[in-house]
Copies of this chain bind each other. A is one copy, B any other.
């Protein structure tokens, strides 16, 4: 078998025994996935996934960034091509380099999918590449492997996608109208209309005006347009917004200054510092709207996007070359928190790519401000060691109840069960250690395991 029943648990027997017992209580709970990047169209259309390379390799920047780092050509992997022309060849390249993933979460997610979803039990390698390819390709054509069937077999209770305010959400509507019983909801991600550096920013704002009937070339009309777009998302089940800026900087300008800044931003003549200030102001504006409409805010700062100029110019965005950078929260969030930090109806979930902020800034902030909660360890840190560091560095100051369970945050649909399984195991391993070291009673650990898996995420995201 590829996977051991006790994987990720402490090897010390007393802690292992407790971890196993905790995990038995949560392993079969439904999956709540409040933040991610799957496509609603998959479920609206319910067509088979085409082939193993298109399913596993092409969309997964965790995979091809590692291959690229070791000299594999992205062209050979057909990255960025609309259709993978020679999926078996791509699969062979992947299989030949599978050892590169030793010790990474990608390896664990993949092995989980291979074993649990496709019944493969020998290790992927050049030697087994064809067996893998044929087995997976064949199964993908069967009804059990259609997107809706997988959704059900994964025991998903809620799945959130992430969409632009300009998106018509037709797939979301189609799912609703189809009568299929599943809760797939959009999250509101306003980058295209709040980031002056976003390609097509001004056109986006004009389009927002067309869609909402507001004069979005004025500050008031623009804000009303956003309000209406949020309401449209909400009507399709949306409970959250998502904000992915370079920093966590917020601002709280007087209304007239904000209006002037907006005019400059849409004129295309704003300087860099003004564009950054506009984004900072828009975090506070979105917080204001959240106080009004109850949508939960998520802030995902700190990623330097498209760091590799060559790759960006040749292959475009989201090609595995975003790199984290040092991120301040304590000063950056102050303007927003001065304004709305003590609001009863506001929830802001903070994420970080800078683990140094866990114990220094995020846990102290979330352990004090009633509106703040901490999202789980994110992206590069969504890994066994990363999750453990999160719990170890956050819990003593923020407690468990200022955290919000797990996010899979993935575009790789088949990795969802594996990712949630890793998170559950690590939480049980952490709790098991606390119990084994007599820092927590076992009955409390059982209650916490359930809450970390299921209750806290539903409560925090108002699902």
Q: Which residues does A use to contact B, with CB under 8 Å?
A: 3-4, 6-12, 14-15, 65-66, 68-71, 99-105, 108, 123, 304, 307-311, 320-326, 328, 330-331, 334, 337-338, 341-342, 344, 353-356, 359-361, 363-370, 372, 380-381, 383-386, 392-393, 395-402, 433-434, 436-441, 444, 447-448
Contact = CB atoms under 8 A, between A and B. Distances in A.
Given A330-B304, A353-B360, A396 B324 contact: no
A366 B320 CA distance: 12
A363 B396 CA distance: 24
A7 B439 contact: yes
Number of copies: 3
A392 B387 CA distance: 12
10 contacts: A6-B437, A8-B437, A69-B398, A99-B447, A103-B395, A103-B439, A103-B448, A307-B368, A324-B361, A363-B380
Given A99-B444, A363-B380, A392 B399 contact: no
A108 B440 CA distance: 9
Contacts of A360: 324-326, 353-356
Given A11-B12, A69-B372, A395-B104, A361 B325 contact: yes
Contacts of A3: 438
A363 B105 CA distance: 14
A308 B342 CA distance: 9
Given A69-B368, A341-B308, A102 B325 contact: no
A386 B396 contact: yes
B397 A104 contact: yes
Contacts of A321: 368
Given A101-B399, A359-B386, A380-B397, 6 more contacts: A10-B437, A11-B436, A310-B342, A325-B360, A363-B380, A385-B395
A396 B11 contact: no
B439 A401 contact: no
A147 to B, nearest CB: 29
Q: Which of A15, A353, A359 has the largest count of B CB atoms less than 10 A from its CB?
A: A359
A78 to B, nearest CB: 18
Contact of A71 (B324, B344, B436): B344
A392 B389 CA distance: 10
A368 B308 contact: yes
Given A323-B368, A330-B304, A439-B8, A399 B361 contact: no
Given A304-B331, A323-B365, A326-B360, A437 B386 contact: no
